[in-house]
Chain A
């Protein structure tokens, strides 16, 4: 077993900081495995990097979302999250029992719950703490905070199940102070949202040193690197982890883990497996290595020396599929082999979050598409590249599906794909569609953008975005600014002076894209026949003995239509019966376009968007038309349907 260890306390991971390191947390916590309680002490140092006098601090108390049915999270979710219900009696909460400044001023009594998003007085996931002495620009404030956290029975990513613990969002976490001009702030203010059913997290980068005391037999995995292990002599041990340039700290503990390790270049890969699924560990190792390789080549280097992958216990699946800096939770199932690549998919996705949200620290509350959607785009690229475009999700005896295919269907197959703009604030997807819009539609419009501008330019764009915004907090407009900088550099004016028109439609609008090949028509040109006056004489024109061998001429036309409201440039490909083809560019603006031909050949078939550049089109089946439709596939599925229905009838006949 290989574990990366910092050999002495005080040793650093990075010679130079990668991030502004606005916060440092020194936390000591003891896990009571019987009561499912964490007793913790936290020393927080926060630096004011703005030019404002900051007169109060705001904190997230995320675990209070699971305190009772009146929290904003529980009201919005109805007690169900990621498909799982909060178990009866499995409540969670966090209490700040003491908060003092370094010079001893007791702030505990000044703590107030606030509700910046929805005025729900019962919600206790955000507190403000007014300061008697403001924190001046460039100054730091140090606070000693004592807290008690009760873990819920695994729900919404965190909690316990029997002796399995996945501990996320467990300590009082300071919000992000945004100066005027940062992201969308017009004046200096705290960005500290309540915990909603549809939102995740947002915090500043810093350094964490965390002492975790657990029973001796427990195996612990956590953000950062192991720096110390101490046997306390009373049946417990204290494990210390040190993490730099991260904006969160999560950990896990269980006596059942099988601890496995591997190496990829500079990265130690640690997998904590459930014993009954140890044979599945190879899938985690393979997929995370493929992901590390892909990101290094196409985006940028993964700077951390390690990554830990947690395989949640059966019964704690709600803790799976989640990302924390240098630690992810995945998910596998005994008996589910590679025919269903869920283990690979979730690993690729959650590791991808080390980039989108982990290093490029967008605001997951306000612009979830920037981490979930961009990450989903990369997940589909990596899965299809590694496991095949048509087999990367499912490969089972004739039934195949690729990851991008199924992602696209998550958007195009919606009952109402116009439900809300993708750029909607996370908690305002009141009618649903959060997942479809932020994950799937974003991945689809990113892929469409890639196909419009070309993969090499897309990679240049994303590398630029990553390098420019890593360890910072970009907004959506910052991403679009990078697009507008890079695309014209390579494509000139091909897409206009900028691509705002594209994002206005796909990100901030609700319209759909649907192009259709509407009509193919071939009419033989009939030479004039009959009696005509010529030079004062009547002349008969018409059939001659050789007329049958005279070459025919056809007047043909193709009509393509725009059924959706999204307007994108495209092409119409026309194929003639002699094998020749013509590509007709169309700016996609008008409702329809017609192309006419007068040739000896007839049009055999035609296709709008023949290269499937506009993969955001919600119906690809109407993109083509042929004068010689193939009927065999229809008969194939009809006969299959007949056969299985006949069998079903025989079953019902067992009763008769």
Chain B
């Protein structure tokens, strides 16, 4: 029941904070736009005033695309090389924004204001950056260990396989086995942030340890909530795919229409981010006694107690 309450709280609160969702969406769009426009420039310059692009309005014309890539592959590569660095920058910006999200959400009666949001971003940036470094290292170690184990086991199970069915099922199983620890680490990282904000933690190692013990002490609740919340973006993506397949982008009108749906979907992903944080905050608050004191610039404070359900 705690899971469903936390989930409901997440849904309610994410919907009640449209301005915060808008900020998150706009940041995502503004970071992505320059690279997308660079991509457009390559297409524009590469095709010039050729009639070839008209073959791309229906399905992707293989010959036109391949000839384009052959002639302009270097320019495209230059654009794609930027992607990795932009993703790093976005990761850092997301770390910054997480402080603001949690500051707004931790006050169950509060609402988004620019000052409380960005105040929170600044207040927790240092701590969240230290958590980021810590958890990137943990993720890499877990990935190496998990990857090594699944690789070894997968190889042993498929070495003399005579049917690709064996190979496929083993690969699927090993992929799940590989992903689960990664997912748990990401979840612990989220709860560490929650703990920092609710308990005003100063030691990130302590916060990481507390969140780890929290997750494993309430393993099924935390995993259960995470899987339940994960259903939301999956269902939203499925809905988007159906719309994409129905509308396509084969005329000026359908291009604009699908663009609108694409950006609505991205806004829903921003909304989902808030859903996740609120759900985790709510579950954490219901299971852990929290003593909270004012943090300057971090908005109003409150004390929570585990709620008996």
Note whether A and B form a binding pair.
yes
Binds A, one of B48-56, B146-154, B199-207, B300-308: B48-56
Give the residues from 142 to 180 in chain A that come closer than 8 angstroms, CB to CB, to chain B. 161-162, 164
As a 0/1 sequence over residues 393 to 411 of chain A, the CB contacts with chain B under 8 angstroms (1 = contact) are 0000111111001101100
Assess the B90–A313 pair: CB atoms within 8 A.
no
The complex places the Cα of A619 from the Cα of B31 at a distance, in Å, of 34
Bound-state CA distance A497–B88 (Å) is 65
B-side contacts of A623, CB under 8 Å? 50, 52
Q: In B209-261, which residues have CB < 8 Å from any A CB?
A: 245, 248-249, 251-252, 255, 258-259
A583 to B169 alpha-carbon distance, docked (Å): 59
A621 touches B186 (CB 8 A): no
Not counting A315-B161, A637-B43, A649-B31, a sample of 5 additional A-B residue pairs whose C-beta atoms are within 8 angstroms of each other reads A625-B51, A629-B48, A638-B40, A642-B32, A642-B33
Task: Note all chain B residues with C-beta closer than 8 A to A412.
Answer: 66-67, 70
Give which listed residue, B50, B67, B98, B263, contacts A656 with CB less than 8 A. B98
Stretch at the interface among B2-10, B116-124, B132-140: B132-140
Q: CB-CB contacts of B142-179 with A at 8 A, as 1s and 0s? A: 00000000000000000011111101100000000000
- Closest B residue to A607 by beta carbon equals B51
**B62 contact from A274, A397, A409, A607, Cβ within 8 A:** A409
Q: How far is the CA of A633 from the CA of B249 in the complex (A)?
A: 9
Contact B66 A409 (CB under 8 A): yes
Check A639 against B67 for contact (C-beta < 8 Å): no
Q: Is the CB of A334 within 8 A of B36?
A: no
Q: How many angstroms between the C-alpha atoms of A618 and B51 in the bound complex?
A: 17
> Given the complex, which residues of B lie within 8 Å of A625, measured CB to CB?
48-51
Contacts of B115 in A (CB 8 A): none
Count, A-B residue pairs, CB within 8 A: 192
Interfacial chain B residues near A333, Cβ < 8 Å? 164
CB distance from B183 to the nearest CB of A (A): 10
- B160 / chain A contacts, CB cutoff of 8 Å: 162, 315
Whether A650 contacts B28 by the Cβ 8 Å rule is: yes
How many Å from the CB of B17 to the closest CB on chain A? 18
Contact of B52 among A399, A413, A620 (CB under 8 A): A620
Chain B residues with CB below 8 A from A108, complex form = none
Known contacts A649-B90, A652-B91; decide if A406 and B98 are in contact (CB<8 Å).
Answer: no
Contact pattern, B 11-37, Cβ under 8 Å of A = 1, otherwise 0: 000000000000000001101110111
Q: Is B95 on the interface with A (CB-CB < 8 A)?
A: yes
- Chain B residue nearest to A653 (CB atoms) is B94
Question: Please, how many angstroms separate the alpha-carbon atoms of A314 and B167 in the complex?
Answer: 9
The yes or no answer to A645 lying at the interface (CB within 8 A) is yes
Residue of A401, A626, A635, A652 touching B90 (CB-CB under 8 A): A652
Residues of A within 8 A of B136 (CB): 655
- Contact yes or no, B186 A654, CB < 8 A: yes
Cα-based distance from A260 to B164 in the complex (angstroms): 21
Pick 22 A–B contacts, CB within 8 A, sort by A: A314-B164, A333-B164, A390-B62, A398-B248, A400-B59, A400-B60, A413-B66, A621-B50, A624-B51, A629-B50, A629-B53, A632-B57, A633-B57, A635-B40, A637-B43, A638-B39, A638-B43, A646-B28, A646-B29, A649-B31, A649-B32, A655-B136
For residue A647, CB closer than 8 A to chain B, the reply is yes
For A161, A652, A656, which residue has the most chain B Cβ atoms within 10 angstroms?
A656
Q: Is B47 part of the binding interface, using a Cβ–Cβ cutoff of 8 Å?
A: yes
With CB as the reference atom, state the residue of chain A lying closest to B60.
Answer: A399
Chain A interface residue number, banded = 35 or more
With the chains together, A274 CA to B165 CA distance in Å?
Answer: 12
Nearest-neighbor residue (CB-CB) of B183 within chain A: A654
Bitwise, A472-510 to B at CB < 8 A (1) or not (0) is 000000000000000000000000000000000000000
**Is A335 at the interface (CB under 8 A from chain B)?**
yes
- Give Cα A656 to B132, complex, Å: 6
Decide if A636 touches B94 in the complex (CB within 8 Å).
Answer: no
**Residues in chain A within 8 A of chain B (CB atoms):** 161-162, 164, 256, 274-276, 313-315, 333-335, 390, 397-402, 405-406, 408-409, 412-413, 605, 607, 618-627, 629-643, 645-650, 652-656
- Determine the chain B residues whose CB is within 8 A of the CB of A622 once the complex forms: 50, 71
- The answer to whether A621 and B139 touch across the interface, beta carbons within 8 angstroms, is no
Specify the chain B residue showing the minimal Cβ separation from A335.
Answer: B168
**At the interface, yes or no: B141 with Cβ under 8 Å from chain A?**
no
Of all A-B residue pairs in the complex, the 10 with the closest CB atoms, nearest first, are A656-B94, A642-B36, A653-B94, A638-B40, A633-B56, A633-B53, A621-B52, A401-B62, A652-B87, A624-B51
CB atoms of B59 and A399 under 8 A apart: yes
Determine whether the beta carbon of B56 is less than 8 Å from that of A636. Answer: yes
| Cα distance A398–B31 in the bound complex, in angstroms | 29
| Contact A636:B87 (CB < 8 A) given known A621-B52, A627-B49 | no
Q: Which residue of A lies closest to B237 (CB)?
A: A647
Q: Is A620 in contact with B249, judged by CB distance below 8 angstroms?
A: no
List B contacts of A635 (CB < 8 A): 40, 255
Greatest chain A CB density within 10 A among B94, B132, B135, B248 is at B94
Given contacts A334-B163, A405-B63, A641-B39, contact A397 B90 (CB under 8 A): no
Does B32 lie within 8 Å of A646, measured CB to CB? yes
Residue of A nearest to B79 (CB): A641
Say yes or no: A621 contacts B39, CB within 8 Å.
no
* B184 part of interface (Cβ distance < 8 Å): no
Establish whether residues B64 and A621, one from each chain, have CB atoms under 8 Å apart when the complex forms: yes
Is B192 an interface position by the 8 A CB rule? no
The reply on B287 being an interface residue by CB < 8 A is: no
B290 adjacent to chain A (CB < 8 Å): no
Instruction: Tell whether B44 is near chain A: CB-to-CB under 8 Å.
Output: yes
With both chains docked as a complex, state the minimum distance between the C-beta of B42 and any C-beta of chain A, in angstroms.
10
Collect the chain B residues with CB atoms within 8 Å of residue A390's CB. 62
Q: How far is the CB of B83 from chain A (nearest CB, A)?
A: 7
Contact A634 B47 (CB under 8 A): yes
Q: Which of B67, B255, B266 contacts A636 (CB 8 A)?
A: B255
Give the residues in chain B near A406, CB-CB below 8 Å: 62
B269 in contact (CB, < 8 A):
yes
Partner among A409, A637, A645 whose Cβ is within 8 Å of the Cβ of B56: A637
Which residue of B28, B63, B168, B273 contacts A409 across the interface (Cβ within 8 Å)?
A: B63
Query: Chain B residues with Cβ under 8 A from A162's Cβ?
Result: 160, 162
